[in-house]
A and B are shown apart, each in its own frame.
Chain A
Amino acid sequence: MGVMKCPSCRSTLTVRESIGTESLVCPGCEAWVGIASAAPRLIAGTRPRAARTPSTTPLALGAKGVLRGKTLEVTGILQRAEGSYTWFECAVADEKGDITWLWVDRGHFSWSVCEGKQCVRTVPGGEFQYGNETLKLFGIGKARQVWASGSFPFELDPSERSRIEDYIAPPFTASREGGVWWVFEYIPVEEIEDAFGVSCPEPVGIGMNQPSTYRRQRMAIGQVTVLALVALMLIHLFVGGDARQAPLLDSNVELRRPSGDPPQSLPGFALHKAWTAIEVDIRAPVSNAWADLNLAFVHAETGKSYWTSQGVEYYSGQDTDGGWTEGSPDRSVLIRSLPAGTYSVLASGGTGGWAGGTTPQYAQLQVYEKPAPATNLLLAFGIVLGLAGIFVWTGYRFEARRWEYSDYGPRE
């Protein structure tokens, strides 16, 4: 360690040569002092720097911790800005005195994993790649140094206006400055807090190189979704696929019986599953007319009666827009979940017409067993696909929030 006097306030400056210090900030007056030459040189005076002191820094100068197996100490903190947008670059020294950089953007930490002209390569087509990851342009700007504290292995320069190009391939950001690439890898703030034993402010928004949890999971989500759909389909085919094609009941119901007559007794049927949905199909040759049926399914063992009213109606005519029709002469209704047992069926019907319509004598009634209606399967499909859709949407929103801070986003 060397000792010097601050050329501005004459305070004692301690210089750590082991970390290659070329400039430092006077702890007494905050003057920027260059020490590359034999005598200390004043780079910038006190007031402009002090006036821009940030209210908080991501880590305290001198903070020590172990991050990803490296014992580190914060030796310098530099705040840079482009317009009103600011970020921090923290110099952290390991036990050998080698400096690594922590870049802190809106509370999101990244640390340098590569520095040099060869870190990033250009591939045919003009794109840049780091490792196997293709980098996307995120931002271009000119950075200036606005505040500093501690020691730095280069000379601070308040007049600097460096052009910086930022490219991303989460969790990496590659910044090109002065022809040199700096590649940073995202570090979750919780890891920084554990490493340095500090409490950091909550990061703002989505970090430009923050890994997407959605991107990491999308392949697995796709696999689970496809598997679930296949499993549901197979279950529906093999467990619910024994519906009989022949109707349980196929009969005609009289529609013009005198009002005092008792209802018609139709052939009964038996249901064998614990619960069975039935499909009731009604057909009647109505034309500008309606036909209604009242049906009662009477359980032989329990005496319980399940009844329903269904009907068909069909109207047609001509108006100034041409021909029109309404309704249909046939109708299919799903009645759900009758318990197992033998059923007798009672039916009564009625019909009526409009504007000379044709009222039928009979309505055809067919009842089918539907133990596993397709709507069960469709509902399950809908839930599985709906969840996958929510995942895709939230993943899309994550990326949209990331690119809010860029002029080069996919939608620009």
Chain B
Amino acid sequence: MKFLRSLRRRPFVSLQALVSALLVALLAAADYYGFAVFGEDPEQQQSTSQSHLYRQFHK
């Protein structure tokens, strides 16, 4: 309760701490699992049979 009261008295600090903690967790997860936030999304085919290059390669 004391902790919650202190957060209420200092809302900006609480918000900054909350967002920072969230970002630290997200960055750790993104870096650990290898997820890039920015970058080009590659085009994706569900199977190689749909790939233009693959079809060309095997024809």
- Nearest chain-B residue to A274 (Cβ)? B33
Residue interface bits A324-357, CB-to-B below 8 A is 1, else 0: 0000000001111110000000111000000000
Flag B1-29 by CB within 8 Å of A: 1 or 0 each: 00000000011110111011001101110
In the complex, whether A277 has a CB less than 8 A from a CB of chain B is: yes
Residues of B within 8 A of A380 (CB): 23-24, 26-27
Contacts of B26 in A (CB 8 A): 380
* A residues in contact with B41, CB < 8 Å: 335-337
Is the pair B27, A216 in contact by a Cβ cutoff of 8 Å? no
Measured CB to CB, the nearest residue on chain A to B30 is: A376
Q: Nearest Cβ distance between residue A82 and chain B, in whole angstroms?
A: 36
A238 to B43, CA, bound (A): 31
* A221 proximity list for chain B (CB < 8 A): 12-13, 16
A-B CB contacts (within 8 Å), total count: 175
| Chain B interface main SS type | helix
The answer to whether A275 touches B33, judged by C-beta atoms less than 8 angstroms apart, is yes
A36 lies within 8 A of chain B by Cβ: no
Determine whether the beta carbon of B13 is less than 8 Å from that of A224: yes
How many B residues are at the interface, by size bracket?
35 or more
A216 & B24 in contact (Cβ 8 Å cutoff): no
Q: A240-B32, A306-B44, A375-B38 are in contact. Are A262 and B19 (CB under 8 A)?
A: no
A379 engages B37 (CB within 8 Å):
yes
Residues of A within 8 A of B (CB): 213-214, 216-217, 220-221, 224-225, 227-228, 231-232, 235-236, 239-240, 262-263, 265, 271, 273-277, 294-298, 303-308, 333-338, 346-348, 370-373, 375-377, 379-380, 383-384, 387-388, 391
Given contacts A296-B54, A373-B37, 11 further A-B contacts (CB under 8 A): A221-B16, A235-B28, A262-B58, A262-B59, A305-B51, A336-B42, A346-B51, A348-B53, A376-B27, A380-B23, A387-B15
Instruction: List the interface of chain B (C-beta within 8 A of A).
Output: 10-13, 15-17, 19-20, 23-24, 26-28, 30-54, 56-59
Would you mind naming 25 contact pairs between A and B with Cβ atoms under 8 Å apart?
A213-B10, A213-B11, A217-B12, A220-B10, A220-B13, A221-B12, A224-B17, A227-B20, A228-B24, A231-B20, A231-B24, A262-B56, A294-B52, A296-B54, A303-B47, A305-B44, A306-B44, A333-B40, A335-B41, A337-B41, A346-B54, A347-B53, A373-B37, A376-B30, A384-B23
